[in-house]
Amino acid sequence: MTRQKAVWAAALVFVGVATLSADTLVLRDGRRIQGQLIAVRDEVIDFDGQRGLFGRERVRVSRDEVVRIEFDNAGFDRPGDRGRDSDRDDRAGRDDRQGRDGQDNGRPSGLRERDVVVNASQPWTDTGVTVRPGQTVYFEATGRVRWGPGRQDGPGGERNSPRNPARPIPGRPAGSLIGRVGETDEFFYVGDETGPVRLRGGGRLFLGINDDYLQDNSGSFRVTLYY
């Protein structure tokens, strides 16, 4: 057995003793998912991510996508990360300020984080996050959606999109990522921007697609919220 396989096999030993702790799955795209490690088998990692009142979300990723797994009260790193525990706290602070492109995004440290999948065919997706009036939220969105025949775009929506009064936000690009707080009709644009969004109202936070006809839509955006 190679050293790398031996280390990953050792992770399975921790599964039985860490069921009450909060493990952290650190991915190469910069995401940190807290929850519980379930299994490492056939080059695939099974992980139960925390979802608060909404239960847990099962995450299944290739081992190559994972930088390391951090256990509560016991750290476990991939072999390439050994000898670097002394700067882990510094790295974690930098991770909070860096987007998936590795650039400094000015986001303050210590924010809570949640991943949400926004389906293009669904009017609104409940993020499970309740915000207060004036709260600042950061978004990072990836993926592409099909919002009409031959029309596919990322979170920023259609380029040079004409105004359409039938859309939730008429002056914003078609197919773009948008949000709303509570059951109001006060929508706000998210798009592919990663800067701070200051919310006027308080209540449950929803995300959706800026489109007036959802029946022919497909695909989804994966959005990470920092709040």
As for how many domains the chain has, the answer is 2
H, E, C per residue of 169-197: CCCCCCCCEEEEECCCCCEEECCCCCCCE
Q: What is the pLDDT of residues 106-116, one digit of tens each?
A: 788 889 999 99
Say whether both 117 and 78 belong to one domain: no
* Residue 28: both structure tokens together: 């190469």
Q: What's the pLDDT at 125? A: 96
Report DSSP state, residue 104. B
Q: Name the H helices within the chain.
A: 3-17, 88-97
Determine, yes or no, domain membership for 106: no
Provide the domain limits for residue 57: 3-83
User: Looking at the structure, do residues 50 and 148 belong to the same domain, yes or no?
Assistant: no
Per-residue pLDDT of 3-36, as tens digits, reads 555 545 444 444 443 334 467 778 777 778 877 7
226: three-class secondary structure by DSSP: strand
**In degrees, to the nearest 5, what angle opens at C-alpha 92 toward C-alphas 89 and 95?**
155
Encoding tokens for residue 21?
Answer: 């702790």
* Residue with tokens 């256990």, as numbered in its chain: 71
117 and 32, same structural domain?
no
3-class SS at 76? strand
The predicted model scores a pTM of 0.56
pLDDT classification of 61: cutoffs 50, 70, 90:
confident
